[in-house]
Copies of this chain bind each other. A is one copy, B any other.
Amino acid sequence: MSARKGAGVLELAVLGLLHESPMHGYELRKRLNTLLGMLRTFSYGSLYPCLKQLLAEGLIIEDSPDEDVRTVPSRRSKIVYKLTAEGKEHLQKLLTEAGPAAWEDEGFGVHFAFFAHTRADVRLRILEGRRSRLDERLESVRAALARTRERVDSYTLELQNHGLESVEREVRWLNEIIGRERAQAEQAKTTDNPR
């Protein structure tokens, strides 16, 4: 029933970037790593096999690299990829799924990075999913911390606190964004239907 298992994150990132503009692997990797900034990096060892697979699935194709008039013809070292129609469709489908894959640690960053191409309601559900995921974690860690209180040395405590504060900070960040999204949705509604 379910389509494929494939390399979730990387797949989405590649399709998303190729949607913005066709590119070859080497360039793709750089854009990938700056796009995700501090979140993740990918090596060629995972990128090229992924491209190969997407190609085999017909989601991308080689785009003849723009054979400039005065360059020697039939030279080919760069392989520029672009999305096929099915690729675009598949990307849209991925960007519409607002499930755990979109808000768990591995996937959230990439999904967020392509929010500009994501429907407003889906954005909101992903943001809320992420927030409640983090809330859960905070609660369980706080509970564990309360049980262990005073039985850990100061370094361990410091580490746990720092971790806690990092997550709290992400939750505040999410709250800000969620607020903005809602305001925007509200405004869109009244614009659609004035008075």
Contacts and interface: CB of A to CB of B under 8 A. Distances in A.
Contacts of A112: 155, 159
B166 A38 contact: yes
Given A166-B166, A169-B169, A37 B160 contact: yes
Contact of A141 (B38, B153, B167, B170): B38
Interface string A143-184: 011011000011110111011101101100100010000000
Nearest to A147: B34
- Categorize the interface residue count of chain A: 20 to 34
A39 B34 CA distance: 23
A159 B34 contact: no
Contacts of A156: 35, 113, 116
Contact of A163 (B38, B115, B163, B177): B38
A109 interface: yes
A102 to B, nearest CB: 14
Contacts of A173: 162
A47 B167 CA distance: 26
